[in-house]
Amino acid sequence: MSAAVGDVIVVLGHAAGEISAAVDLGGARIVIAPDWDDGQSASLKRGVAAAADADAVAVTLGDQPFITPAVIAGALGQLEGFDAVRATYDGVPGHPVVLSRPVMDAVAGLSGDTGARDLLARFRVRKWEAGHLCSAADIDTREELAQL
């Protein structure tokens, strides 16, 4: 990971034990979201809480394998003067999403199957085009993975 990233946190929910046993997560710190079935907000809240000492966090998704350290570092580098950064791919919102401390503090108020999209509407967000650096392909099934 880039030197810009101090701590890598992986939030696991459903089948957390199986995943952590089967996948090499390197030096990442694993955080379990036992309330994962409450929706996306449960994982986001757990991850942000685990990064309590951070000034900002970069949120990515585990099903987007082409998001690279260079993309994460690039997004982090866009934060100055904004509350958040939202990577876009040909103008379509994607990940990573960088959240500053004020946004991180507001994450605790989320509930249900919502990520930070609605929350970001209340803050100054820089949209940053990242399509020149990677694909934002979302891989959800073994069939999609086999097509790579």
Residue 124's CATH number: 3.90.550.10
Look at residue 1 and tell me whether its pLDDT is greater than 50: no
Look at residue 7 and tell me whether its pLDDT is greater than 50: yes
Q: Is residue 61 part of a domain?
A: yes
Look at residue 69 and tell me whether its pLDDT is greater than 50: yes
pLDDT level of residue 31 (50, 70, 90 thresholds): very high
Cα distance between residue 133 and residue 2, in whole Å: 15
* Per-residue pLDDT tens over the stretch 43-52: 999 999 999 9
Domain of residue 120, residue span = 9-146
Q: Is residue 1 part of a domain?
A: no
Q: What is the pLDDT of residue 2?
A: 43
Cα distance between residue 75 and residue 69, in whole Å: 10
**Number of folded domains that form the chain:** 1
Q: Is residue 57 part of a domain?
A: yes
Of 9-13, 130-134, 144-148, which has the strongest mean pLDDT? Answer: 9-13
Query: Which strands sit side by side in the sheet containing 84-89, from one edge to the other?
Result: 56-59, 92-100, 84-89, 125-129
Cα distance between residue 54 and residue 47, in whole Å: 11
- Where are any strands of DSSP class E within the chain? 9-12, 29-32, 56-59, 84-89, 92-100, 125-129
Look at residue 112 and tell me whether its pLDDT is greater than 90: no
Q: Is residue 93 part of a domain?
A: yes
Q: Is residue 129 part of a domain?
A: yes
DSSP summary character for residue 37: G
Q: What is the pLDDT of residue 4?
A: 58
Q: Which one-letter amino acid corresponds to residue 110?
A: L
CA dihedral 131, 74, 81, 121 (to 10 degrees): 40
Half-sphere exposure of 136 (CA within 13 A, CB side): 19
Q: Could you tell me the sign of the dihedral formed by the alpha carbons of 16, 21, 26, 27, in that order?
A: positive
DSSP summary character for residue 94: E
Nearest to 73 by CA among 8, 26, 23, 28: 8
Q: Is residue 16 part of a domain?
A: yes
pLDDT level of residue 103 (50, 70, 90 thresholds): very high
pLDDT level of residue 13 (50, 70, 90 thresholds): very high
Q: What is the pLDDT of residue 56?
A: 96
Residue range 7-27: mean pLDDT, rounded = 91
pLDDT level of residue 118 (50, 70, 90 thresholds): confident
Q: Is residue 60 part of a domain?
A: yes
Q: Is residue 2 part of a domain?
A: no
